[in-house]
Copies of this chain bind each other. A is one copy, B any other.
Amino acid sequence: MAINWNTVTGPEVMVDSRKAKRNITRMIDKAQSAGVDLRPHFKTHQSPLLGKWFGPIEQTPIAVSSVPMARTFADAGWRDILIAIPLNPRQLPAYNRLAQELTLGLTIEHADALETIARIQHPVDVYVEVDAGYGRTGMNWRDPQNIYAVLEQAFNMPQVRHLGLLLHAGNSYSMRGTHGIAKIHEESLGRLAELLADCPIPRDALRVSVGDTPTCSRMDAFPGADEIRPGNYVFYDWQQQRIGACEWSDIALALACPVIARYPERDEVIIHGGAVHFSKDFVTVDGKPQYGQVMRITSDGWGGPIEGAFVHGLSQEHGKVKVPPALLKELKLGDLLVIVPAHSCLVMDASKGECTLIR
């Protein structure tokens, strides 16, 4: 369906539903062929409306990264929610309420966290996070005895319904191309296999959850894993395109921003669209941060990238956009630029899940 661009006042988050649904279907097919379950990470869109695209609400397990997000999706009807960020003891009352209502998964990375688990009055699933090289959170894969000790302690707790291992190979984000993604993938899953080889917990009593968008998009097999847990793939973004996790044509989210000033002498226009819309996340091109790539506008959305047209500066509400002279000459005050952001998860968070669906 053709878009009526005249009704867009901007800045506005545009979601191409055809592309997003195609991305969702591809990942469902991928998981099925690989023989793993799929637990999409809903931190990317944070929208119950879009959440319905992933499958029947009551049968779709999901991951989130905060208690407020878990609350949002619990209230909207989801019944299997893993909070994939280390447990915060201050949230005990919220965990208790959620565990009463649904299948709640919690993530821990230290024996201390079991003190909080012990105070939950309903069964919960507990995932022990393993750091297989990313260096953010998780128990170090190099110290398997520590990990086994926590697993055994948890295994014997009456509150713990299912026990799991959780991995996030976020170091795949620093790679370029399928070869680099494969390297991280093999390294993490290799370390996981080592860990599982001597694990005192029976393998079939452990649920192993892995996943990040680059590896889940480009790899076909997930040996050792029971489920994959990617999130960003529903929209993708410029960072994923740079990593090599998607093509430009897969990106399902862009910001429509009106031109509010033109400076031909600086090869630049200013848009209404700033740090509060794009976030200040960026990709690095020729050593410099770029916050968004301008796309060709089409009657029903957007096409490919316009070479040399990108956001190179952001203040709170203003964006500075480099524009090739030929395009700049055509641009009038109030014309829209459609821009793929560096990081779509942060854009959706900034808009609190509000977006305009197209197609």
Binding site for B on A (CB under 8 A): 8-10, 43, 65-67, 85-91, 94, 109-110, 112-113, 116, 135-137, 170, 258, 260-262, 266, 270, 272, 275-276, 279-281, 313, 315-318, 320, 332-334, 345-346, 349-350, 352
With A136-B270, A279-B279, A281-B275 known as contacts, the answer to whether A334 contacts B261 (CB < 8 A) is no
Whether A9 contacts B170 in the complex (CB less than 8 A), given A261-B137, A280-B279, A346-B316, comes out as no
- Once the chains bind, are A260 and B346 in contact (CB under 8 Å)? no
Determine the chain B residues whose CB is within 8 A of the CB of A270 once the complex forms.
86, 136-137
User: What residues on B are CB-neighbors of A350 within 8 Å?
Assistant: 276, 349-350
In whole angstroms, how far apart are the Cα atoms of A315 and B346 in the complex? 10
Q: Which of A266, A315, A320, A350 has the most CB of B within 10 A?
A: A315
29 A–B contacts from the bound complex (CB under 8 Å):
A9-B67, A9-B88, A9-B90, A9-B94, A10-B90, A65-B316, A66-B272, A66-B317, A85-B272, A85-B317, A86-B260, A86-B270, A88-B258, A89-B258, A112-B332, A112-B333, A113-B333, A116-B333, A135-B266, A136-B270, A136-B313, A136-B318, A136-B320, A170-B315, A275-B346, A279-B279, A280-B280, A280-B281, A316-B349
- A112-B332, A332-B112, A350-B350 given; A88·B260 CB < 8 A: yes
Chain B residues closer than 8 Å to A116, beta-carbon distance: 333-334
Given A8-B90, A279-B280, 6 further pairs, Cβ under 8 A: A86-B270, A87-B260, A87-B333, A137-B270, A350-B350, A352-B352
B43 touches A316 (CB 8 A): yes
